[in-house]
Amino acid sequence: MIRSFILCFAAAVMLTAPAAAQDARPTLRASVTVTGDLVRIGDLVENAGPVADIPIFRAPDLGTRGTVLTEKVIEAIRPHQLIGIDTHGLNEVVVIRATREISPAQISARIAKALEGQYGLGAAHNIQIEFDREPRTLNVEPTSTGELQVVSLSYNERSGRFDATLDLSSSAAMRNLNTRFTGIATETLDAVSVDHPIERGEVLKASDLVITRRPKSEGPAITDIHAAAGLAARHQLRPGQALHEADLMKPLIVQRNDTVTIVYEAPGISLTLRGQAQDAGALGDTIGVANSQSKRIIQGVISGPRRVTVSSPHIRFVENAPPTSSPAAPSLFETQQHEHSVE
């Protein structure tokens, strides 16, 4: 049994030895990412052995990629006595240069942070940065650490123009980049606006409204959608325009010349009759209405659609007026008996 075990073990070693040797064979990679300025043999070839750290190509620029033909790779490696490279039939190798990206949004946020609380400006998240020329993404070494710093900054309070220069002390690549930025910084606030044109008198729905950022200098705007929904446009409204209280009004529920129901209310009695609105108005507005029969105009409060309520302790019916030597003046509600109802 011992003899059989030894023979089986030896056979297994002999069978796996070629496979292990094959695994250790130098093999060309299809794609590689490098962090430095140079591409080394070990970057391109797996199992390169002692020559792995020898540089043979210059790396692409930070944040970019390039390709190198397989035959060029083999030719560059040949003087270093690395033979038998398995190319897997590849025609080229893709080389990617790793980078740490600093986006335009990060640049904008850093400038806004530097302006925060200065020159009469408020919090950074309310400061909108508009560049004269939209910045490109800055590519620096992936090993660079620390935060982007504003090393110089000027700001004109009247025009809102800024001039800022940024730096990242841990990056050598940053010294070769243009890191000066100019533009306009504006403090903004949330404001309600319409998302499509609204005509005068149209009642706003919540679905018509959006929150936008508008310059604080435009004055106090409505900031809550629910505060504007249900109101009507006092004039034509356009998308992007911040809504102010003066832009809106209560919806008109009575139009000029509408036929309305005039309701006279007094303790224990309610009288209704027809009239004609002399003005347009919204709920709660006081307008003039004319008695359709007497043509007398009285003032009433709009209490519902085409409904005007008059409530005054000083108005009395003609029948109850004290006798006088002269003919009684007609009641404000004087009309034919069959044209009104008493409830």
Q: Collapsing DSSP states into helix, strand and coil, what is residue 42?
A: helix
The count of other CB atoms within 10 Å of the CB of residue 181 is 22
Strands, E assignment, 197-321: 209-215, 232-233, 248-249, 252-254, 259-266, 269-277, 281-282, 286-291, 297-304, 307-310
Opening angle at CA 54, ends 51 and 59, nearest 5: 140
The count of C-alpha atoms lying within 13 angstroms of the C-alpha of 4, restricted to the half-sphere facing its C-beta, is 1
pTM comes to 0.63
Tokens of 244: 């102010």
The count of C-alpha atoms lying within 13 angstroms of the C-alpha of 62, restricted to the half-sphere facing its C-beta, is 19
pLDDT higher than threshold 70 for residue 16? no
Structural domain boundaries in the chain:
23-98, 102-188, 189-250, 253-342
User: What CATH code would you report for 189-250?
Assistant: 3.90.1210.10
The count of other CB atoms within 10 Å of the CB of residue 159 is 8
Q: pLDDT over 90 for what percent of the chain? A: 60
335 or 30: whose pLDDT is higher? 30
Query: What rounded mean pLDDT belongs to the chain?
Result: 85
pLDDT higher than threshold 80 for residue 328? no
pLDDT of residue 218: 84
pLDDT higher than threshold 70 for residue 10? no
Interval 162-171: pLDDT, tens: 999 999 999 9
pLDDT of residue 248: 93
Average pLDDT over residues 261-277: 84
pLDDT of residue 255: 85
Q: Which of 70-74, 140-144, 161-165, 329-333 has the least mean pLDDT?
A: 329-333
What are the C-alpha distances in Å from 335 to residues 43, 202, 259, 266, 311? 104, 37, 16, 18, 18
User: What CATH code would you report for 253-342?
Assistant: 2.30.30.760
Question: How far, in whole angstroms, is CA 19 from its chain's centroid?
Answer: 59
Average pLDDT over residues 55-75: 95
CA dist 29 and 101 (Å) reads: 26
pLDDT higher than threshold 50 for residue 201? yes
Residue 23, phi then psi, degrees to nearest 5: -65, -30
Average pLDDT over residues 53-75: 95
Interval 249-263: pLDDT, tens: 888 888 888 888 888
What CATH class is the domain 23-98?
A: mainly beta
CB 204 within 8 A of CB 194: yes
pLDDT bin (cut points 50, 70, 90) of residue 192 is very high
Average pLDDT over residues 145-159: 95
pLDDT higher than threshold 50 for residue 194? yes
Average pLDDT over residues 223-240: 92
Closest by Cα among 57, 67, 125, 112 to 94: 67
Q: Is 249 exposed, middle or buried (0-12, 13-18, 19+ CB in 10 A)?
A: middle
pLDDT higher than threshold 70 for residue 342? no
pLDDT of residue 312: 63
CA dist 67 and 58 (Å) reads: 12
pLDDT bin (cut points 50, 70, 90) of residue 334 is very low
pLDDT higher than threshold 60 for residue 321? no
pLDDT bin (cut points 50, 70, 90) of residue 303 is confident
pLDDT higher than threshold 60 for residue 315? no
